[in-house]
Amino acid sequence: TFMVISPELAKSWIDTGWQTSDEVKKYIKKVLAERGTHDHEAEPIKTGIDSGIKAVNPVNNEHIPVWVSDYVLAGYGTGAIMAVPAHDSRDFEFAKKFNLPIRQVIMETGKETNLPYEEKGTLVNSGKSNGMSSGEAKDELTKLAHGEKKIQYRLRDWLISRQRYWGPPIPMIFCEECKSENKGERKEMPGWYTVPEKQLPVKLPYVKDFRPTGSDKSPLASVEKFYKVRCPGCKSWARRETDVSDTFLDSAWYYLRYPSTRSARSGQAPWDPVITKKWFPVDVYIGGAEHSVLHLLYVRFLAMVFKDLKLVHFEEPFPKFRAHGLIIKDGAKMSKSKGNVINPDDYIKNFGADALRMYLMFLGPFEDGGDFSDTGIRGVIRFLNRVWDIGKDKKFGVKKDSILEKALHRAIKKLTDGIDNLGYNTSIATLMSLLNEFEKKPYSVTKEQFTSFLKLLAPFAPHITEELWAALGGKGSIHKALWPKYNPKLSRENAFELLIQVNGKLRAKVTVDSGITEAQAKEVALSNEAVKRYLSKSGLKKIIFVPNRLINLVG
């Protein structure tokens, strides 16, 4: 319903004679001057201006407006896009902001579709293409335009033109003497040398004023004690490179350094290969959604380079990424100006570390976060106090209660699956339900059942569970104890014990799902070895089936 071109493309049109308004020219100049200042933001605020030009949609011959916007990059395709706001989140936001038409052309088969819909589906409002799958339509339009499919990567050039003091120094030295004699570490780079190995790493000097100078030079260019060095080749005075790399370069590999900080080789290399092989790649990377835009792309890029150089054994350092939600307070994002900032130290002092930790994990789904409230944390404290009372009372049952045993095994299964999937809030809710079951039969809970409960609780409340584990005679740390295993038969939800009778006499009990049919119950009964021995060779004469209770085979 509209087209958008990049400011760079618009500027090239102006340079080749396009006559446009002063407002459009000012906008283009402003955006180009600010390009790069928002590179590390996950979603910079989109701006734009109507160019006044109309274009013709080649599919339906409609005249559509052409806009200039900073959300279109010069390097993306040709720097001009046909906006499809109903099916692209960026186009959708732009259309909503500037009140541009939004026309749905893809529909999820058999369902009402919420916009923007960015998945595959069936074409609607598309003339002759109505009813086609989106995949078929892409192929058809590609042929119609005499084009070809191409993957367009969103990774941009890693610019370092905006020089700052605190970036990683580039370990190079330039010597005028060597350049004049056409000497250097490499023939194709006369005058240039890498910093000798024994002088690495190059550290930033302490400076009183590290603000940008407003020129294209780094603030380090004015620090003589930093840049004035001896040439590694001829030993005459030379100049250290004062430009620095982007600060994101450090964060793109620092994860490799952490495990090796106390290694015997710590001072000899950035990371110890033996330790790195033991710990990497990690299982999951958890961070804000903005990390996936640039930071993780650079991390993967460097990991692949290191793999090619045989410095690491993997290409993908983080096989799985999960973005966490945001914890808010009183319905709003925390900020000092609003006075709703939470100081964790205060809550730990007043309520304990376990209560705060557990409440944060209980607030809501991991990916959504939640609204922090003092009322909510008090509920967690009451739960932990109830756990403490049972553990300190030490009045346990001797024989396992079947109802409690089933509840425990269902909880073990739920937490085993839930923790792996970062379902912390539902896992804690399961523990609360299990405690309710325990309290219904307080002296029927065995010590073994309660210690299994403590193991399930330990990841969420590490301190109180460690104390109770020790008080109940547990060996070592609870955090090194084996995780409980569930019995598949006992862990089945909505299950019951089907009583199998032969000629009115009980011959077997089998755990089955609630709601099974007579035919299913018959199949279970006839496949049971204990039942087979009592069946008449002449066959069955009659079957009596009581739903969710028993089946009686009459021979």
- Which residues contact residue 227 at a Cβ distance below 8 angstroms, ignoring those fewer than 6 apart? 220, 221, 239, 240, 242
Number of domains in the chain: 5
**361 in helix, strand or coil?**
helix
Helix axes 424-440, 447-457, angle to 10 degrees: 160
Kindly list the distances between the CA atom of residue 237 and the CA atoms of 200, 230, 326, in Å, as whole numbers in the listed order. Answer: 19, 5, 54
User: Are 266 and 199 contained in the same domain?
Assistant: no
With 0-12 CB in 10 A as exposed, 13-18 as middle and 19+ as buried, what is 238? buried
Q: Is residue 148 part of a domain?
A: no
Kindly list the strands in the beta sheet with 192-194, ordered across the sheet, starting from the edge strand earlier in the chain. Answer: 192-194, 172-174, 237-240, 228-230
What is the residue range of 540's domain? 495-554
CA nearest to 121, candidates 129, 555, 112, 132: 132
Q: Which of 480, 503, 534 is the last residue of a domain?
A: 480
Q: Is residue 505 part of a domain?
A: yes
User: Are 463 and 436 contained in the same domain?
Assistant: yes
Question: At CA 299, angle to CA 296 and CA 301, rounded to 5?
Answer: 110
Q: Is residue 550 part of a domain?
A: yes
Q: What is the CATH number of the domain that holds 420?
A: 1.10.730.10
CA pair distance 161, 156, nearest whole angstrom:
14
User: Are 345 and 452 contained in the same domain?
Assistant: yes
> In one letter, which amino acid is 237?
W
Q: Is residue 90 part of a domain?
A: yes
User: Are 532 and 407 contained in the same domain?
Assistant: no
Q: Which of 246, 280, 303 is the last residue of a domain?
A: 246
Q: Is residue 115 part of a domain?
A: no
CA pair distance 366, 289, nearest whole angstrom:
13
> Which helix or strand (DSSP H or E) is residue 122 part of?
strand 122-123
Q: Do residues 87 and 41 lie in contact, with contact meaning Cβ atoms separated by under 8 Å? A: no
Q: Along the 555 residues of the chain, how does pLDDT read in single tens digits?
A: 999 999 999 999 999 999 999 999 999 999 988 875 554 444 567 899 999 999 998 888 899 999 999 999 887 778 999 999 999 989 999 999 999 999 999 988 666 678 888 888 888 888 888 888 888 888 888 887 777 777 766 666 666 666 777 788 999 999 999 999 999 999 999 999 999 988 988 999 988 877 766 666 788 888 899 999 999 999 999 999 998 888 778 889 989 999 998 887 767 788 999 999 999 999 999 988 777 777 888 899 899 999 999 999 999 999 988 888 888 887 788 877 778 888 999 999 999 999 999 999 999 889 888 889 888 899 999 999 999 999 998 889 899 988 899 999 999 999 999 999 899 999 999 999 999 999 998 889 999 999 999 999 999 999 999 999 999 999 999 999 999 999 988 887 777 889 999 998 998 888 787 888 999 899 889 888 888 888 877 778 899 999 989 999 997
User: Are 7 and 22 contained in the same domain?
Assistant: yes
The beta strand positions in 124-182, using DSSP E, are 172-174
Q: Which sign does the torsion angle of CA 147, 148, 153, 156 carry?
A: negative
Q: Is residue 70 part of a domain?
A: yes
Which pLDDT score, from 0 to 100, does residue 152 have?
65
Q: What percent of the chain has pLDDT over 90?
A: 54
User: Are 241 and 256 contained in the same domain?
Assistant: no
What's the Rg (C-alpha) of the chain?
34
CA pair distance 314, 57, nearest whole angstrom:
47
CA nearest to 125, candidates 66, 113, 77: 113
User: Are 312 and 238 contained in the same domain?
Assistant: no
Distance of CA 164 to the CA centre of its chain: 30
> Which helix or strand (DSSP H or E) is residue 127 part of?
none
User: Are 309 and 380 contained in the same domain?
Assistant: no
- Is the backbone peptide bond immediately before 281 cis, with ω within 30 degrees of 0? yes
Which pLDDT score, from 0 to 100, does residue 295 have?
82
User: Are 451 and 371 contained in the same domain?
Assistant: yes
User: Are 338 and 454 contained in the same domain?
Assistant: yes
Q: Is residue 502 part of a domain?
A: yes
User: Are 176 and 62 contained in the same domain?
Assistant: no
Question: At CA 299, angle to CA 293 and CA 301, rounded to 5?
Answer: 95
Where do runs of H (alpha helix) occur along 363-499? 374-393, 402-420, 424-440, 447-457, 462-471
Which pLDDT score, from 0 to 100, does residue 40 have?
46
For 221-276, write each residue's pLDDT tens digit. 888 999 999 999 999 999 999 988 887 788 899 899 999 988 877 677 889 999 99
Neighbouring CB atoms inside 10 A of 301's CB total 13
Q: Is residue 61 part of a domain?
A: yes
Q: Which of 293, 323, 353 is the last residue of a domain?
A: 323
User: Are 39 and 94 contained in the same domain?
Assistant: yes
